[in-house]
Structures are given as C-alpha cells and as structure tokens.
Amino acid sequence: MPEGDTIRRLADRLHRHVSGRTIARSVFRHNRYATRDLAGLRIDVVDAAGKHLLMRLSAEGRRPITIHSHLRMSGRWSIGLPPRTPPWRRRIELWLPDAKPLVGIDLPVLDVGPTADEHRWVGHLGPDLCATSFDGDLAVANLRAAGSVPLGGALLDQRNLAGIGNLYAVELPFMAGVSPWFPSGRVDGLEHLVAVARALLPVNAELGPQTTTGNARRGRTHWIYGRRGRPCPRCSTALQVARESDVPWGRVTTWCPRCQPGPDAVDHAHVDPERLRRLVAGHRLVARALGRSGQHGPRHSRSG
Ligand SMILES: [Zn+2]
C-alpha cells in the first residue's frame, strides 16, 4: 500500500497536469455514479490528506465537488489511457481538452460529493505528516494514548498521525531502536521518532526516491523493510519476520531482536535519539530538515 509521501507525490504530479482544466467528458464505471456527469467542471486542485487523494472541482453557479479516492493495495491513477487495461477496470475517466485523460484504475475507494463534506472521508485523520502545518505534540499524545496497542499498530492507525504505511511502520521503530511490539503508551521519547517521520516523509514526497537510508541504489533504499532472512545492518543479528496473520495489526513485520528488544525482554522502551541521529545522517536532506525545522517540514499543501 502506498505511503503518505507517495500519495502526496501523486497529488502534486496530477495537479501539475490537470489543474485549471475543465472536464469535457466523464465516464464512471461504478454502480453509484454510473449516470454522474462532471462535464463543465474545472479541476481546481489535486490534493492529498494522509493517504487519501482529493480532487476539487468547481464551476460558476454549481456547488464545489470533490472526487475522493484511496488506492489501498490495488488502485492507481494514470495520465492517459493505460495500454492493456480493459475498460471495466477503469473506474473513472476524466477527459480534458488538449490533454491526456485522467484515469482511475481499480480504485477500491471512490466517492464523489460536496467539497464542504470532505470531512466525511478525511475528518478522522490525525496530524498529516506531509501537510504544511503539523501538530507534532498532538501526534505524540495520540501515540501515547494508544496505550497497550503495539507501536507498529499505533503508527499505522491514521487517526494518530496520517501518512504512515507499513514501510515506515517497520523502518521508524528500527531507526528508533524500539520493538514494534512494545505498547505505544509505554515508549519514552516518541517525540524524536515523530520528528524524524515529519522530516522523512515530506522530503521523500518532494524529491524521491522513497528511501529511509538516503541511499537510492536498488536494494539499499531501506534499513530492514522487506529484508527477511537477512542480518541486521547494524548488529548482524538475524532479522525476525512475522507474517500478517501473526501480527495484531495485520501487516508483515520485520524487526531486529537485539536492536529492538521486545516487551518480554525489557520493562520500558526508549527511543534512542543518538541512534536516530546516526541513521538519519546518511539521508542528508532529512538530517538538514530535522536540524532546521523540528515541527515544520518543507512541504507546501494546498489544503484549505
Ligand atoms: Zn540489530
């Protein structure tokens, strides 16, 4: 599933392509919207809220409308008709004069409704890691309030903070030296972990590629995510992997039992700021963003 930085990047790319253009013809292959016609509406903004994509449309004398989508595991947006994708998988097509159409493919979540009601789709989200303003104190308080929920699950709960998918839910606890199994409410120093997330996601969203190590080389972009059966890059202990079905938060989870001692081994978990600082140092733009801003990253959001 794409992370918040990937969706932010997608929103920016779509915005550059379509903003200010008026829809000439729309096609929905969706039972709820099959007869809906968006022709005549101008695409004002393509924005992201956490992992949700919001396309805001308006026209003189009509109330503003938002197209909301969430890609989950399968969905994607394409600029231009994708070859080899049969029409029935193209849930929505927005045809624009003098431009390639925007096509939403296999979208598991697709809604159309008044812009004034966007909160129905995104009102539950916690502070958004890729938004212009970010309330880090609130994100930390939410993670603490998650109490007995293991840190990995608390990070993935978009109500606590928005934008983290499984990649960062594995990488951030490793970088912090905390077990993803440790109850979130009993982890000290979460403000350091949140500050790194707040630097990491916006930098990756703006510049890409999506890397936690700062290394863009294939196979080197992440510390432990997807490295099952490999030694820990810090201490060489064999990494542990739990399958989705064995994890309460339902995602494949990787951790180093030595760098990230579990709740059975220690009473209390502490985010290790020194370890975080060392591991972030290789990602120079992130290290710089951290040094510069603390709570405020470099992103610009079009959210109103
Ligand atoms: Zn280790």
Q: Which residue out of 2, 150, 173, 180 is catalytically annotated?
A: 2
Catalytic residue among 9, 90, 198, 251: 251
For residue 226, how far is its CA from the centre of ligand 1 (angstroms)? Answer: 15
**Domains in the chain, please, with CATH?**
4-122 (3.20.190.10), 136-293 (1.10.8.50)
Q: Indicate the residue type of 111.
A: D
Distance of CA 233 from the midpoint of ligand 1 (Å): 7
Candidates 8, 9, 51, 198; catalytic one:
51
For ligand 1, the distance from its centroid to the CA atom of residue 304, given in whole angstroms, is 43
Count CB atoms within 10 A of the CB of residue 84: 4
pLDDT of residue 302: 54
Q: What is the pLDDT of residue 2?
A: 86
Contact 158, 50 (CB under 8 A): yes
Helix locations, the chain, DSSP H:
4-18, 119-122, 136-145, 151-156, 166-176, 190-207, 273-280, 284-293
pLDDT at 229: 83
Query: Is 51 labeled as catalytic in the residue annotation?
Result: yes
CA distance 30 to 35: 9
Active site residue 206: no
Taking the centre of ligand 1 as the mean of its atom positions, its distance from the CA of residue 256, in whole angstroms, is 5
Averaged pLDDT in 10-residue chunks for the chain of 304 residues = 91 95 96 94 97 97 96 94 91 93 96 97 98 97 97 98 97 98 97 97 90 92 91 96 95 96 89 96 92 54 46
In angstroms, rounded to a whole number, what is the distance separating the alpha carbons of residues 168 and 262? Answer: 19
Structure confidence at residue 293 (pLDDT)? 61
- Rounded to the nearest angstrom, the distance between the alpha carbon of 282 and the centre of ligand 1 is 18
Residue reference for tokens 């308006």? 58
Classify strands 187-188 and 109-114 as parallel, antiparallel or unpaired.
unpaired
Quote the ligand 1 centre to 149 CA distance (angstroms): 23
Of the candidates 3, 93, 118, 171, the residue annotated as catalytic is: 3
Please tell me the predicted confidence (pLDDT) of residue 301: 46
- Rounded distance from Cα 224 to ligand 1 centre (Å): 10
Please say if 2 is a catalytic residue: yes
CA 258 / ligand 1 centre spacing (Å): 5
Quick one: pLDDT at residue 83?
A: 85
Query: Is 131:298 a contact under the CB 8 Å cutoff?
Result: no
